[in-house]
């Protein structure tokens, strides 16, 4: 089991930067995030309950006197150099999260000069903790600091989302970017993805957050994600014929959906029903957390997983095994898959005092999926911040 993030995870980034380039002008920490409940609701303009965590990516930068950029991914041991006037998606995947941000900044007319960047951290890649948003938001924040662009955090979140749309090709919602930039320590964010209003709910409860990593490569995540989004849009288009005010599934009640059930393809109906029910679960879960009814919160998490697995069909056998195994362990209040799906992690709420029992109890489940246990502990933390 890996503990919560160390405040020292920027040290190797600084050491490499100084060895290659000298002293950095800006050092930034950009966090990953968890989402307690509300999956695949963000791009349907619904509700989510995320939080940045005490794990993330450190970025060290300094400006250059020309228009060239140097990107060094420390954990991947990869490096890319290029000209800001010749930006285009790269055949390798890792640079596109960064190149997309550069493209969006220039497209919006913000002053951008050449720079050198080294980044790395303790955020597990591919685990559903949104390392992509951490990269995008971290770079947007860093360049805003480096070149004095005067951007606010909401603008940076929207810009980072657009970068993922344009250069990565994933039509993500804005939850990950909002959580990465705007979170507050020891709180979760109740975010309305329709108007981007949000409020913070204290998370001082006597529970711990554990992520169980399936270590399954999420090969289907992007295509499956975009397909689910298209199916939801198809459902909205059908219902708009009868209710012209409907703009997204956020505006659809279960009664309206069921009134026209026979006109839906069965798969499209299930996708839409899941999203509507998940929005209701987020509202109920937030109320349960505010009233400190943690067992009720956990039951809603379990229901969320069942919906994601059976109705939205973005789980996988490994996620189902880990979620099911966790729910019967002592001290576990709730467990569900987290993120886009088809791999990644389950998120588990575990009562204080039951941490070791949880880790030990999950070992047989990992054995059933043929994996060595990989469990991450984390806690709600603040959003992207400047260290230097």
Give tens-digit pLDDT for 377-387. Answer: 999 999 999 99
Please write the tens of the pLDDT for every residue from 174-231: 999 999 999 999 999 999 999 999 999 999 779 999 999 999 987 666 788 889 999 9
Instruction: Report the pLDDT value the prediction gives residue 219, as an integer from 0 to 100.
Output: 65
Among candidate residues 54, 122, 176, 320, the one labeled active-site is: 176
Please write the tens of the pLDDT for every residue from 321-349: 999 999 999 999 999 999 888 999 999 99
| Assigned superfamily of 207-378 | GHMP kinase, C-terminal domain (3.30.70.890)
Kindly report, as residue ranges, where domains of CATH 3.30.70.890 are found in the chain: 207-378
Which class is domain 11-203+382-386? alpha beta
Question: 293 an active-site residue?
Answer: no
Task: Check whether 96 has a pLDDT greater than 60.
Answer: yes
Q: How confident is the model at residue 6 (pLDDT cuts 50, 70, 90)?
A: very low
Instruction: Report the pLDDT value the prediction gives residue 172, as an integer from 0 to 100.
Output: 82
Please write the tens of the pLDDT for every residue from 105-141: 999 999 999 999 999 998 877 677 888 999 999 999 9
Task: Check whether 10 has a pLDDT greater than 90.
Answer: no
Q: What is the 3-state secondary structure (H, E, C) of the chain?
A: CECCCCCCCCHHHHHHHHHHCCCCCEEEEEEEEEECCCCCCHHHCCEECEEEEEEEEEEEEEECCCCEEEEEECCCCEEEEEEHHHCCCCCCCCCHHHHHHHHHHHHCCCCCCCEEEEEEECCCCCCCCCHHHHHHHHHHHHHHHHHCCCCCHHHHHHHHHHHHHHHHCCCCCCHHHHHHHHCCCCEEEEEECCCCCEEEEECCCCEEEEEEECCCCCCCHHHHHHHHHHHHHHHHHHHHCCCCCCCCHHHCCHHHHHHCHHHCCHHHHHHHHHHHHHHHHHHHHHHHHHCCCHHHHHHHHHHHHHHHHHHCCCCCHHHHHHHHHHHCCCCEEEEEEECCCCCCEEEEEEECCCHHHHHHHHHHHHHHCCCCCCEEEECECCCCEECC
Instruction: Report the pLDDT value the prediction gives residue 314, as an integer from 0 to 100.
Output: 95
Kindly report, as residue ranges, where domains of CATH 3.30.230.10 are found in the chain: 11-203+382-386
């Amino acid at each position: 089991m890996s503990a919560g993030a160390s405040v020292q995870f920027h040290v190797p980034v600084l050491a490499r930067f100084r060895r290659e380039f000298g002293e950095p002008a800006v050092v930034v920490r950009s966090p990953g995030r968890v989402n307690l409940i509300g999956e695949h609701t963000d791009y349907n303009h619904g509700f989510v309950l995320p939080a940045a965590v005490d794990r993330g990516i450190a970025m060290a930068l300094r400006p250059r006197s020309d228009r060239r950029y140097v990107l060094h991914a420390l954990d991947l041991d990869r490096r890319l150099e290029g000209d800001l006037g010749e930006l285009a998606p790269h055949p390798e995947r890792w640079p596109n999260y960064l190149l997309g941000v550069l493209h969006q900044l220039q497209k919006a007319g913000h002053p951008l000069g050449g720079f050198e960047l080294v980044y790395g951290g303790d955020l597990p890649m591919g685990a559903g903790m949104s390392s992509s948003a951490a990269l995008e938001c971290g770079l947007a924040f860093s360049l805003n600091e480096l070149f004095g662009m005067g951007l606010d955090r909401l603008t940076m979140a929207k810009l980072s989302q657009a970068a993922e749309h344009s250069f990565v090709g994933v039509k993500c919602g804005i939850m990950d970017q909002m959580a990465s930039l705007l979170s507050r320590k020891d709180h979760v964010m109740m975010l309305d993805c329709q108007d981007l209003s949000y409020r913070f709910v204290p998370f001082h409860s006597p529970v711990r957050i554990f992520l169980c990593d399936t270590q399954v490569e999420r090969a289907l995540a992007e295509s499956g994600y975009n397909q689910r989004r298209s199916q939801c849009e198809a459902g909205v288009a059908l219902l708009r014929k009868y209710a012209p005010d409907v703009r997204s599934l956020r505006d659809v009640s279960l009664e309206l959906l069921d009134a026209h059930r026979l006109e839906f393809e069965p798969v499209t109906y299930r996708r839409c029903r899941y999203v509507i029910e998940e929005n209701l679960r987020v509202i109920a879960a937030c109320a349960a957390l505010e009233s400190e009814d943690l067992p009720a919160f956990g039951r809603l998490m379990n229901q969320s997983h069942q919906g994601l697995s059976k109705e939205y069909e973005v789980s996988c056998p490994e996620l189902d095994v880990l979620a099911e195994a966790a729910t019967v362990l002592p001290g576990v209040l709730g467990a569900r898959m987290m993120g886009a799906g088809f791999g990644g992690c389950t998120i588990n709420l575990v009562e204080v005092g039951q941490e070791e029992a949880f880790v030990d109890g999950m070992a047989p489940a990992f054995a059933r999926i043929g994996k060595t246990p990989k469990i991450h502990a984390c806690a709600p933390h603040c959003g992207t911040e400047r260290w230097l």
